[in-house]
Amino acid sequence: MDNLATADSSPPHSLAPDQLTPAQRTAVDHFEGPLLVLAGPGSGKTRVITRRMARLVERGVDPRQILAVTFTNKAAEEMAARVERLAGGRPVAVSTFHRFCARLLRDHAELVGLQANYTILDTTDQKQVVRTVLDELNLDAVHFPPARISGRISRAKNEQQTAESLQANSVSRVGNHFQEVVARVYPRYQDFLLRANAVDFDDLLLHVQQLLTENPELRSRLDQQYRFVMVDEYQDTNLVQYGIVRLLSHDHPNLCVTGDPDQSIYGWRGARVDNILRFEQDYPDATVVRLEENFRSTAAILRSADQLIAHNQLRKAKSLITQNPEGDAVELLVYGSAQDEAHGISARIHELVSRNECTYGDCAVFYRVNSMSRQLEQALSRWGIPYQVIAGVAFFERAEVKDLLGYLRLIENPADDAAFARVVNKPPRRIGKVTQSKLARYATTEKINRLEAAAHAKQIPNLSKPATTALLRFHELIDGLNLADAGSVAELLRTIIDRTRYTAGWQTGLGKSSEQDIQRQAVIDELLALATQYDEDLGDERSLAGFLEITSLVADTDAIDPSQGNVTLMTLHAAKGLEFPTVFVAGVEQNLLPHERSLRDDNPREIEEERRLLFVGMTRAIDRLSLTLAAQRDLHGQSRSTIPSQFLNEMQLSMRDNTIPGDTAVPRPPLPDAGNTMGRSGMADSPLLTTGAALLNGTGEAATLEQGFAVGMAVRHPRYGRGTVVAVDGFARNRTVTVRFEDSDEGVSFQAAHCPLQPLGRS
């Protein structure tokens, strides 16, 4: 089951579980004082950290005195489970930076001007808030895109620039319109958040830093409480995180950080590699351990990766060593089009699996941008290969999820005007733009939140009668909802869906529902399942705040599920910390990897980060690694010729050209027939939906079928199983296929061009 695992498991080439190299041993046995572990890819870093934590407990350190911080929930959970196992069942707290801060802030909210029931805004909410502020300033969102503005605000926060200092800064730089606008929006944005008792992701960290800086007694108490602090992926910390870590390890500098400057890929998010590079200056008596031997990849893979990364100038020289066997050379596969590339990869996986060289779950495909998953999904679908996409359309980004969570947020924190704006007219209850802006104006002048203002609708000037009653009814609706009455989060969600008649508008009637509605319902069911799980896990401890905290701070990478036996598709960023026997990196082209944005102003730092990104991707591979590219790729709908990535010239590769025009160099899947499609795919008729990612798996887009569909044709859907086509309507893009699946009375309609239906032949 562990074919996808972090570095600590035991891949074929690794040391026996109990064995440690001398360097690893030094790190594990290190007790007090600062420790820096510089760990190359596949060097057993996770194993070292977990072993060290267990060792601390063994030496009598109370687990509550250990604070371990990672960047993803997935990493945190895995680490916690592993340490607990090693430490004889004693739980050790492992948390992400954001979660740790969220908890701390919950306990001390009033010290930074918040209340304990504050809510966390996501990027969509942030953009919405920016939009509101732009409106107030009479600026248009077309000329000043909210996404860019909130990005700049986020960057400012990461660099510890307050609204005031940014303003001061931009005044000195006259002429920069955009910067000026950002400086004007920032303080109002922040004001909105504070009034809404809400924080954004950056605030979680920033508020905690402020908390620790301004309250020395609290700081020293926490410093004392967390006598041992461990930070994983230290090269990814930003200035604020760096500050927090330092504030917590002042009196007890038993700080252990681990990381690899060559795997720093979050510079764009404010991460500072310098943090790890200057650790030895920050803590002159630090012990430094270098883990350079790789236990993961073949020598061939490692050699190419090493050659690549050696081209980074702004780097301390370091080479990767391994005693692993040579293995196959790293391949470069060149295809004529993105479609060929996708089919080529699928064919390759199909071949490897049918020759029993690996399983589907052993394979991963990485790419630079999420939008590249679509074509890969289509091809894999056509080949009948089961796959999971990490963060295709993220589960928690789905409108239904955000709406329902919006209701929960508003119930928990009535001051959350962002949540109010999100749900006040969802589903449509005749509270449109005009009414909302009158309400907002009134709320602002009266200095009350919007929900309260809705209760006073009769006092709002120029409000039409129907609008007034609609607002009053909405207020009543929210007022009548709470966790105590509902009994559990899941029950509360059901009550919300029921009372708002949330799904009422969906039934397109005539005894058939659309594919879209089925998906939306599935999303809701998934959220309910998640809530039920939460209710069970927490028992009497359950709270809305707790549930919202979990749902706000999850990442899509958390959904990676190795046990499913699926090919895994994800971005290069999401791939960090994982390993797979067979890896494909797709789209290794100039302007894509390196991304065009990094080439734009010829900044070597950015190009080096792109190089590290490819390095990270390559070093995930255990046995087989292929880099692929397409000579032509669609960009904004237009097909364009591409240029091979500059990185390809920097390493040893064995090239295979599959671009012979009009030829069969790229195989297409064998024609489907009822007999062997099932056997080949290895897919269950209706797989269980377990995670958000798995849920969305296979439903995105799909095959364009040359032969089309006809009434009476037997088809198979990756999720709903076998069925028969009962109707075909419309033309071209509007063509829909209605299918009746086995054990179902209803027909389900699909867009012919965009569904993963596989024809099985006539029945």
Q: Which two structure tokens, joined as six digits, stand for 533?
A: 């799980």
**CA atoms of 460 and 441, how far apart (whole Å):** 9
Q: 549 an active-site residue?
A: no
Quick one: which segment of 94-102, 226-234, 664-672, 709-717 binds DNA (CB under 7 A)? Answer: 94-102
Q: What Cα–Cα distance (Å) separates residue 339 from each residue in 203, 246, 651, 698?
A: 42, 50, 26, 17
Cβ atoms of 567 and 364 closer than 8 Å: yes
Contacts of 150 (CB under 8 A, 6+ apart): 123, 126, 127, 129, 130, 189
Q: 620 an active-site residue?
A: yes
Place of tokens 């600026």: 139
Cβ atoms of 735 and 729 closer than 8 Å: yes
47/368 with CB nearer DNA: 368
Min dist CB 743 to DNA, Å, is 30
Quick one: which segment of 14-22, 335-343, 432-440, 486-494 binds DNA (CB under 7 A)? Answer: 432-440
Q: 74 an active-site residue?
A: no
- Of 9, 123, 215, 220, the one binding DNA by CB under 7 A: 123
202/526 with CB nearer DNA: 202
- Is there binding between residue 269 and DNA (CB under 7 A)? yes
- Out of 8, 84, 203, 232, the active site residue is 232
- Out of 233, 340, 400, 608, the active site residue is 233
- Of 188, 195, 246, 374, the one binding DNA by CB under 7 A: 374
- Is there binding between residue 708 and DNA (CB under 7 A)? no
Cβ atoms of 367 and 691 closer than 8 Å: no
The count of residues interacting with DNA (CB under 7 A) is: 50
139/678 with CB nearer DNA: 139
Across 666-742, the runs of DSSP E, i.e. the strands, are 713-717, 721-729, 736-741
Closest CA to 661 of 635, 695, 636, 631: 631
Site string for DNA, 734-753 (x = CB under 7 A): -------------------x
- Is there binding between residue 637 and DNA (CB under 7 A)? yes
Closest CA to 517 of 399, 371, 425, 374: 399
350/620 with CB nearer DNA: 620
- Of 96, 264, 513, 566, the one binding DNA by CB under 7 A: 96
- Of 119, 557, 568, 626, the one binding DNA by CB under 7 A: 557
- Of 555, 599, 665, 705, the one binding DNA by CB under 7 A: 555
Min dist CB 432 to DNA, Å, is 2
How many residues are given for the chain? 763
Angle CA(271)–CA(275)–CA(280) in degrees, nearest 5?
165
Cβ atoms of 562 and 3 closer than 8 Å: yes
Min dist CB 268 to DNA, Å, is 4
308/467 with CB nearer DNA: 467
Q: 742 an active-site residue?
A: no
- Of 97, 226, 383, 502, the one binding DNA by CB under 7 A: 97
Cβ atoms of 74 and 45 closer than 8 Å: no
381/571 with CB nearer DNA: 571
- Is there binding between residue 678 and DNA (CB under 7 A)? no
For 354, counting Cβ atoms within 10 Å of its Cβ (0-12 exposed, 13-18 middle, 19+ buried), the class is exposed
For 514, counting Cβ atoms within 10 Å of its Cβ (0-12 exposed, 13-18 middle, 19+ buried), the class is middle
- Out of 46, 119, 677, 736, the active site residue is 46
Cβ atoms of 377 and 389 closer than 8 Å: yes
Q: 438 an active-site residue?
A: no
429/680 with CB nearer DNA: 429
Q: 126 an active-site residue?
A: no
- Is there binding between residue 458 and DNA (CB under 7 A)? no
Min dist CB 518 to DNA, Å, is 17
- Is there binding between residue 431 and DNA (CB under 7 A)? yes
Q: Which two structure tokens, joined as six digits, stand for 217?
A: 């007694």
Across 173-326, the runs of DSSP E, i.e. the strands, are 198-199, 228-231, 254-259, 287-291
602/745 with CB nearer DNA: 602
Task: Name the strand (E) or helix (H) holding 547.
Answer: helix 544-552
- Of 66, 527, 553, 715, the one binding DNA by CB under 7 A: 553
- Is there binding between residue 432 and DNA (CB under 7 A)? yes
418/574 with CB nearer DNA: 574
**CA atoms of 231 and 237, how far apart (whole Å):** 9
- Out of 8, 24, 45, 339, the active site residue is 45
For 401, counting Cβ atoms within 10 Å of its Cβ (0-12 exposed, 13-18 middle, 19+ buried), the class is buried
| Maximum C-alpha span of the chain | 79
Closest CA to 67 of 224, 276, 266: 224
Beta strands 758-762 and 713-717, pairing class = antiparallel
Quick one: which segment of 137-145, 299-307, 578-586, 719-727 binds DNA (CB under 7 A)? Answer: 137-145
- Is there binding between residue 337 and DNA (CB under 7 A)? no
**What's the count of helices (H) and strands (E) in the chain, helices before strands?**
29, 22
- Out of 620, 624, 716, 719, the active site residue is 620
For 259, counting Cβ atoms within 10 Å of its Cβ (0-12 exposed, 13-18 middle, 19+ buried), the class is buried
65/241 with CB nearer DNA: 241
Min dist CB 399 to DNA, Å, is 7
- Of 61, 245, 451, 467, the one binding DNA by CB under 7 A: 467
User: What torsion do the CA atoms of 574, 578, 579, 584 make, to the nearest 10 degrees?
Assistant: 0
- Is there binding between residue 109 and DNA (CB under 7 A)? no
156/358 with CB nearer DNA: 156
Closest CA to 342 of 307, 372, 306: 372
- Of 46, 50, 337, 370, the one binding DNA by CB under 7 A: 370
**CA atoms of 187 and 560, how far apart (whole Å):** 38
Min dist CB 265 to DNA, Å, is 7
Cβ atoms of 263 and 41 closer than 8 Å: yes
- Of 186, 201, 283, 335, the one binding DNA by CB under 7 A: 201
Min dist CB 741 to DNA, Å, is 24
**CA atoms of 609 and 158, how far apart (whole Å):** 18
- Of 433, 484, 661, 679, the one binding DNA by CB under 7 A: 433
- Is there binding between residue 72 and DNA (CB under 7 A)? yes
Quick one: which segment of 92-100, 513-521, 528-536, 679-687 binds DNA (CB under 7 A)? Answer: 92-100
Cβ atoms of 728 and 735 closer than 8 Å: yes
Min dist CB 391 to DNA, Å, is 5
Min dist CB 453 to DNA, Å, is 14
Min dist CB 374 to DNA, Å, is 6
- Of 24, 598, 691, 758, the one binding DNA by CB under 7 A: 598
Quick one: which segment of 82-90, 434-442, 485-493, 537-545 binds DNA (CB under 7 A)? Answer: 434-442
Q: What Cα–Cα distance (Å) separates residue 434 from each residue in 34, 389, 421, 443, 680?
A: 59, 40, 13, 14, 57
Active site residues: 45-46, 232-233, 263, 620
Binding residues (CB under 7 A) for DNA: these are 71-72, 96-98, 123, 127, 141-142, 145, 147, 201-202, 268-269, 368-371, 374, 391, 425, 428-436, 462, 464, 467, 505, 553, 555-557, 571, 573-574, 595, 597-598, 636-637, 701, 753-754
